[in-house]
Amino acid sequence: MATTTFQLPTSQSAVQLDACSDPLSSIRINQVANLPAFPKSGINTIVRVLYASINGIDYKLPSIPWPIPRLVIGSSPIIPGISFVGRVWKTTHPGLKAGDMVWGKHDAPTKFGACAEFTLISGDQGIVKISDGWTSDHRIDEFAGAAVVALTALQTLQAGDLPYNTSGGQATGGKVFINGGSGGVGTFTIQMAKQCLGCEKVVVSCSGANADFVKSLGADEVVDYRNCGNANLSGWLRDWSKRTGEMFDVIIDNVGSDSDIYWQCHHYLKADGGQYVQVGAGMDFGSFALLAKKMFWPSALGGGKRKYLFLGAQNKKEDFELIGRWMAEGKIKTVIEDDNRFDLADAKKAYMKLSSGRTRGKIVIKIGADNE
């Protein structure tokens, strides 16, 4: 394969952490970190990163007891970060050349992640050019913020039996419940459901303080998960179904901490085609056991009575391109509040804020300037 390239330095500035019981405490900036080695075969691209977005898995996976982090990611130190936007610096990708502005995400956490001046992307599914319709009126860091969460949001909605999906995009309608609407995935799921897939009704849970925020994104009805009256959230949903006489086509669980929402969902999720999709979950063995129970315990023996899917987003070039078009058309946007933008030197502060669980939308880190 032909290679197009700019000159690469011998070292780089990067965020690094260690696989240990408390990876957050080990976060530091290494100004002479190694660059990833460029493979001798296959489709590979080194990107000069302008912005990276951070996600919980960046520090949760390295906190799992040995040897899992080493088997999945590699030995310490680890450069965190999955999603990025930047310029191609070296590539064997047939559709790219050095200098192209691109965005995307790694397939999974890797030893040489996106929170560095240079990151290596393997294959042709996790990297695409910035859409032609994108203008300078928008901030380029939106693409870094979108890569993981927008892809996840799109694929959770694709998994549902919505009219848009079953008709090949020719019909609108359908009802969706989104548990956790103010985070990265939730904000995109709301926008896509209403602005792109034409869902008839989108009901969302979040804290009361974020109710107006998620309504501004398109939510039709909001429930404060902290204040559901005398019932928990599953009880509120059961009452909602009785009150409205309606059932949901899809339930998307971005939190995963309240299992009763699934065990009781036959009261408010359609029997014919209804799909429960879970995205959020803990990284401990108890959470893994509970996931297995939901997936494999037969309904005849007391298991769930509706279809259950735990979804891990898969890199698909056509999905990234679709998201990019929707962003360029103004149908969806990445929610990045001003105090959620950090410089590389403040990466540890960014991760500490993320770990607090009190973040609306996405957190991005500025890695480099486009004129460097």
Give residue for tokens 């998960």. Answer: 225
Report the distance separating Cα 134 and Cα 89, nearest Å. Answer: 21
Indicate the length of the chain as a whole number: 372
Q: What's the mean pLDDT in 191-213?
A: 97
- pLDDT above 60 (res 24): yes
Average pLDDT, the chain: 93
Q: Is the pLDDT of residue 193 over 60?
A: yes
Beta bridge mates, 47: 88, 119
- The pLDDT of 232-246, averaged and rounded, is 96
> Mind listing the pLDDT tens digit for each residue in 116-170?
999 999 999 999 999 887 876 679 999 999 999 999 999 999 999 899 999 999 9
Going by pLDDT thresholds of 50, 70 and 90, the confidence category of residue 203 is very high
Are 24 and 355 within 8 A, CB to CB? yes
Query: What confidence score (pLDDT) does residue 336 get?
Result: 96
Residues 79-110 have pLDDT tens digits of 999 999 999 999 999 999 999 999 999 999 99
More confident residue, 299 or 193: 193
- Of 117, 115, 119, nearest to 27 by C-alpha is 115
Q: Does pLDDT of 372 surpass 70?
A: no
User: Is the Cβ–Cβ distance between 68 and 29 less than 8 Å?
Assistant: no
In the chain, alpha helices (H): 57-60, 68-72, 141-158, 163-166, 184-191, 211-217, 233-244, 260-263, 285-296, 317-328, 347-355
- Candidate from 183-187, 249-253, 303-307 with smallest mean pLDDT: 303-307
pLDDT of 112: 97
Q: What is the share, in percent, of the chain residues with pLDDT greater than 70? A: 98
- Dist. CA 255–CA 105, nearest whole Å: 22
Contact 33, 16 (CB under 8 A): yes
Least confident window among 192-196, 214-218, 228-232, 349-353:
228-232
Whole-number Cα distances in Å, 292 to 26, 178, 281, 288, 361: 32, 22, 12, 6, 29
Q: Is the pLDDT of residue 30 over 60?
A: yes
What is the predicted pLDDT for the residue at 167? Answer: 93
pLDDT-above-90 percentage for the chain: 83
Question: Which pLDDT score, from 0 to 100, does residue 240 have?
Answer: 97
R_g over Cα of the chain: 21
* 108-122 tens-digit pLDDT: 999 999 999 999 999
Strands 101-105 and 118-122, by their bridges, are: unpaired
- Regarding pTM above 0.85, the answer is yes
The answer, yes or no, to whether residue 72 has pLDDT greater than 60, is: yes
Q: What is the mean pLDDT of residues 323-352?
A: 96
